[in-house]
Chain A
Amino acid sequence: MTKEHTPTYEELKRRLANAEGALHALRSGQADTIAGEQGNLVVCLAEAVDKLRESQAMLARTEQIAHLGSWEWEIAGDRVRWSAELFRIFQRDPALGAPSFAEHRDLYVAEDMDRLEQAVVRCVDDGIPYELELRAIRGDGEIRHCVARGLAGIDSEGKIRRLFGSLQDITDRKLSELLINKQQRELELTLDATTDGIWYWDFLNNEFRFSSGYYAMLGYEANEFPADFENWKSRIHPDDLDQAISVAAEYLKTKPDVYQNEFRMLTKKGDYRWISVHAKVVERDDQGKAIRMIGSHHDITERKQAENERAKLEAQLRQSHKMESVGRLAGGVAHDFNNMLGVILGHTELAMDCVTTREPIYEDLMEIFNAARRSADITRQLLAFARKQTIAPVVIDLNATIEGMLKMLRRLIGEDIDLAWLPETTLWPVKMDPSQIDQILANLCVNARDAIAGVGKLTIETGTAIFDEADCLAHAEYVAGEYVLLAVSDNGCGMDSQTLDNLFEPFYTTKELGRGTGLGLATVYGIVKQNQGFINVYSEPGKGTTFRIYIPAYKESRVQAQPEKVLVIPGARENETILLVEDEPSILKMTTTMLERMGYTVFPSSTPEQAIKTAREHGGEIHLLMTDVVMPGMNGRDLAENLLAIYPNIKRLFMSGYTANVIAHHGILDEGVQFIQKPFSKKNLAIKIRKALDQG
């Protein structure tokens, strides 16, 4: 028996059988006992047999567990030996014995067999071992994915006499791989289909993955930059970075259910978008430490912008409501104050009529009169702010109106300030009381003058503007439409944001004591609002200020002529009678005196009832009814209606400091109705009485 370098399986099997036979013979007493070393020989033999048996059993078990069958091919004799597992893999009856090499062709898918044959030939010819995946055909026809391995057995002469190899059934593993690949692919398709940014973070391998939606949200193509922590971090807005990192760290440490945060991220274009993040740790190790995390990024920029806009609009509305309540308060105060001023002014005028200018007391009376008139101006401004000033709007050309005021304005601002007038050539008309333009420009120019405080420039310009719905969305008070613009700009000291916030509040002033009442801009604001316009201010400290006032354009008729200025103080004509109705005794007395001094015959009444009685009982004509508007019991308007029944041709002159929407609708007189505002001077009274009487 010759020994070979690599004993064959058969040889090994034979040796085992021999050893087993020897052991059996020994144990059954059929073998000779040889003195000396027999004991050891038996033990060694027994051990050798046991080890061999165990090895064989373990080999068989290993093959079975691993679905790994082994084979041996003696090339010259074409003798093939298969292990038990190999028979099981192919579901071939072991009694049939192993197939010959040629019969192996039927055991594999044709194209795989070609590859196997080539590999076997190389192994036989050159001893090159092989390992390849192929598909075996099981006895029941099922295809099994396998790995075939083979190597050459070299004899003592260096010749390749046999091949050894194995075949491992990896079908289950292969199917799992295919399933995993399919699931991975489905996951990728899902990620690509969503527009939301999905991300995945494997902490162990520090592996990031961003979906195509994640990239697109920031304006990038998929995978345009590497998916990693640094690329995420570097794109966060610097002001948000600290909180983004700390919130994430806190989540990982304290392990709440869901991670949420909002921060800004840089896009490819270079702007920032608001991103909302939701994420969750989906896998942890045994110590609870995070292994994998999945999250989503959602673009919430529009929502954030809407929130900011809403906050801004709410602030504007709050400011507007504040102004409304202040206005109501101011109006109420002004009304009561007006009546008293009327009395002071009236009686002072009467007193001044009784003394000559040379007398010392005249100067004192003059002081009283001037002080009262200034107070009346203040209350008029308050009423304007409260939108309670009764106005008589007419359709005007703003350019023409302002041009008529330029001389006065230049005098007002002084020589050191250059006044530039830039009218728009084609301007829509507006319907406003021209005196209100007067008030607006006077107040704005005075403020500009005080802001410049020395040498500077003031510009007045007009223009047109059209606002659409989009503009109105951004400003709470805007109404869509066509507007005429009046802008007043200066290059004075400008205003800070705190001043701007309180700009139109009555009695708010930045001027030193005695130099401003704080009502100028409140007046302007009230006038603009009363005319359904709006006003914007642009100012920065050191940069000057611009007021831009928008008045609705008037579309209906052509511009009317400005009312004439009356230069002569008219008096009564022959036998003109006036029925005077006023519930305030002091005003009734004062007005009666004034009218009588003008030459009118006056029938004073303190109540409407008394007036009606007087009218009924009077035999002759009553030319004019001069009545307060607001009285207890019956208002002036109703009184007038009553008297028209008795005196159909009676003229009417209404007076009030506070219209209360009785005679005027929103402060605007009905056409043809005469009105005098309290407190009034003698001159004003004379003019109004004459006008009312002369009305056709």
Chain B
Amino acid sequence: MAVDDLISEGLDNNLKRVVLRLFIAGDAPNSRMAKENLKRFRESLIGFHFEIDVVDVLENPQVMLDYGIYLTPALQIIEPRPGGLIYGNLNDGEALRTFLI
């Protein structure tokens, strides 16, 4: 297990770090779509290490106010460009790539 951790760690150190936070509204259709698109996007990229935090605003509505989120789904970019925010179901993969990379 430690070796796996080490390998993971060693592999991770050479990757570009992308930290994201996805706001969803439970199982709402666009939120579901956003989750799937993001997963697919993540899997399509090589050389990147993704850390994604998924926040369900239905469970914690206050979060929307704290983060200034108006709608769901919303993808907040923490790294590499902090402050970026994308609203929508992330269907446009190419635009996403351009925005993140």
A25 near B83 with CB under 8 A, answer: no
Among B25, B29, B85, point to the contact of A18 (Cβ < 8 A).
Answer: B85
Residue of B nearest to A3 (CB): B68
CB of B62 closer than 8 Å to a CB of A: no
Q: A30 contacts which of B25, B30, B70, B82 (Cβ < 8 Å)?
A: B30
Of residues 493 through 543 on chain A, the ones whose CB sits less than 8 Å from some CB of chain B are none
Interface of B is mostly: loop
Known: A22-B71, A26-B71, A45-B70. A32 touches B85 (CB 8 A): no
CB contacts (< 8 Å) of A19 on chain B: these are 70
| Pairwise interchain contact B67-A30, C-beta atoms closer than 8 A | no
Question: CB within 8 A of A21: which of B25, B86, B89?
Answer: B86
CB distance from B69 to the nearest CB of A (A): 9
How far, in whole Å, are A14 and B77 apart by their CA atoms in the complex?
13
* Residues in B neighbouring A30, C-beta threshold 8 A: 30, 87-89, 91
Closest chain A residue to B29, Cβ basis = A32
Q: Which B residues are CB-close (under 8 A) to A282? A: none
| Mask: chain A, 25-56; 1 = CB below 8 Å from B; 0 = not | 11011111110000001000100000000000
**Contact indicator B87/A31 (Cβ below 8 Å):** yes
Q: Which residue of A lies closest to B83 (CB)?
A: A14
B contact residues around A32 at 8 Å (CB): 24-25, 28-31, 71-73
Interface presence of A284 (CB below 8 A): no
A1 lies within 8 A of chain B by Cβ: yes
Query: A268: CB under 8 A from chain B?
Result: no
Chain A residues with Cβ under 8 A from B82's Cβ?
Answer: 1
CA distance A42 to B74 in the complex (A): 15
Identify the closest chain A residue to B23 (Cβ).
A32
> Of A21, A31, A45, which one neighbours B85 at CB under 8 angstroms?
A21
Measured CB to CB, the nearest residue on chain A to B30 is A32
In the complex, which residues of chain B have a beta carbon less than 8 angstroms from the beta carbon of A22? 70-71, 74, 87
Q: Are B88 and A34 in contact (CB under 8 A)?
A: no
Q: A14-B83, A21-B87, A24-B87 are in contact. Are A31 and B73 (CB under 8 A)?
A: yes
Chain A residues closer than 8 Å to B89, beta-carbon distance: 25, 30-31
Nearest opposing residue in chain A for B33, CB measure: A30
Contact of B70 among A1, A14, A29, A41 (CB under 8 A): A41
Q: Is the CB of B67 within 8 A of A25?
A: no
List, in ascending order, chain B residues with CB within 8 A of A15's CB.
68
A31 to B29: give the CA distance in the assembly, Å: 9
A26 to chain B, nearest CB (A): 6
Question: Which of B67, B68, B71, B83 is within 8 Å of A31, CB to CB?
Answer: B71
- Measured CA separation A601–B64 after assembly (Å): 170
Judge whether A1 and B83 touch: CB under 8 Å: yes
Which B residues are CB-close (under 8 A) to A25? 71, 87-89
Distance A26 CA – B29 CA, assembled complex (angstroms): 13
Pick the contact of B88: A14, A21, A45 (CB < 8 A). A21
Specify the chain B residue showing the minimal Cβ separation from A48. B70
A-facing residues in B53-101 (Cβ within 8 Å): 67-68, 70-74, 82-83, 85-89, 91
Also in contact, A31 and B86, with CB within 8 A (given A19-B70, A22-B70, A26-B71)? no
- How far is the CB of A21 from the nearest CB of chain B, in Å? 5
Residue in chain B with minimal CB distance to A26: B71
Report which residue of B29, B67, B85 has the largest number of chain A beta carbons within 10 angstroms of its beta carbon. B85
With A14-B83, A34-B25 given, is the CB distance from A24 to B88 under 8 Å? yes
B49 to chain A, nearest CB (A): 23
Min Cβ gap B26→A in Å is 9
Complex Cα gap A19–B74 (Å):
12
Q: Pick from B67, B68, B91 the residue with the most CB of A within 10 Å.
A: B68
Chain A interface (Cβ < 8 Å from any Cβ of B): 1, 14-15, 18-19, 21-22, 24-26, 28-34, 41, 45
Listed by A's residue number, 23 A-B pairs whose Cβ atoms lie within 8 Å are A1-B83, A14-B83, A14-B85, A18-B70, A18-B87, A19-B70, A21-B87, A22-B70, A24-B88, A25-B71, A25-B87, A26-B71, A26-B87, A30-B88, A30-B91, A31-B88, A31-B89, A32-B28, A32-B29, A32-B30, A34-B28, A41-B71, A45-B70
Q: 8 nearest interchain CB pairs?
A: A30-B88, A25-B88, A32-B28, A25-B87, A22-B87, A31-B71, A32-B25, A30-B89
